[in-house]
Amino acid sequence: MTESTEKVCFVHDVESNLVKIGATSQCPHVYIAGLAQTWHQRGKFPEGFRLLGVMGCDYKFDLKKELHARFARWHKGNDWFDPVPELRIFISTETHGHACNECVNPSATEDEAMRERVDAAVAEAFRRIPSGVE
């Protein structure tokens, strides 16, 4: 299965307990590493970013705009949103895990068991989100 190049990623910032809805054409894990690096340059050291889910699409900025509009009520600034139940349900039903040649062994990308492990890791990260404003 080939993943779309353009995608929207949902990333949990453990420290602030906010979820970023960001667009990228890179591997989401490379995207997250870049995000952490940008923060470091600004003197901020996030405890950790966790990838919650990925959505492939044709035009990442269109999808991002659509999702930002959809969750506008819980927008906290820039790409960040409160992990309200609406957003968490959306992530658990509409997004998928991620594996590619850049972040896993190339031979494993075709391996169903590996894909399941990646999905499980994403589900695990997702379960760690505190309940927030329920």
HEC profile of the chain? CCCCCCEEEEEEECCCCEEEEEEECCCHHHHHHHHHHHHHHCCCCCCCEEEEEEEECCCHHHHHHHHHHHCHHHEEECCEECCCHHHHHHHHHHCECCCCCCCCCHHHCCCHHHHHHHHHHHHHHHHCCCCCCC
25 scored as a contact of Zn ion (CB under 5 A): no
Note whether 27 binds Zn ion by CB under 5 A. yes
Among 62, 102, 111, 116, binds Zn ion (CB under 5 A): 102
Indicate the residue among 84 and 103 with the shorter CB distance to Zn ion.
103
Q: Examine residue 84 and tell whether it contacts Zn ion (CB under 5 A).
A: no
Token pair 């470091």: residue: 40
Residue 111 in the binding site for Zn ion (CB under 5 A):
no
Nearer of residues 36 and 103 to Zn ion, judged by Cβ: 103
Q: Is 103 one of the binding residues for Zn ion (CB under 5 A)?
A: yes
Span near Zn ion by CB under 5 A; candidates 18-26, 78-86, 92-100, 120-128 = 92-100
Nearer to Zn ion, 66 or 102 (CB): 102
Which residues contact Zn ion by CB under 5 A? 27, 100, 102-103
